[in-house]
Amino acid sequence: MKLIGISGTNGSGKDTVGDMLAERHNWLFVSVSDFLREEARRRNLPIERKHLSSISAEWRRKHGHGVLTERAARLFKEKATKHDGLAVVPMRHPGEAAKVKELGGIIVWVDADPKVRYKRVTGRGRSTEDVKTYEQFLAEEEAEMHHSGDEATLSMSKVKEMADISLVNNGDDIEAFKNEAEKALESVISS
Structural domain boundaries of the chain?
Answer: 3-169
184: left (phi over 0), alpha (psi -120 to 50) or beta: alpha
Say which CATH architecture domain 3-169 belongs to. 3-Layer(aba) Sandwich (3.40)
In the predicted structure, residue 91 carries a pLDDT above the cut 80: yes
CB 152 within 8 A of CB 60: yes
DSSP notation for 2-14:
-EEEEEESTTSSH
Instruction: Output the pTM of the full model.
Output: 0.93
CB 53 within 8 A of CB 72: no
Encode pLDDT of 125-147 as tens digits.
655 555 689 999 999 899 899 88
pLDDT at position 130 is 52
Encode pLDDT of 40-87 as tens digits.
999 999 998 889 999 999 999 999 999 999 999 999 998 767 899 999
pLDDT at position 124 is 72
Which of 9-18, 35-44, 141-150 shows the lowest per-residue confidence on average (mean pLDDT)?
Answer: 141-150
- Mean pLDDT along residues 23-39: 95
Q: What percent of the chain has pLDDT over 70?
A: 96
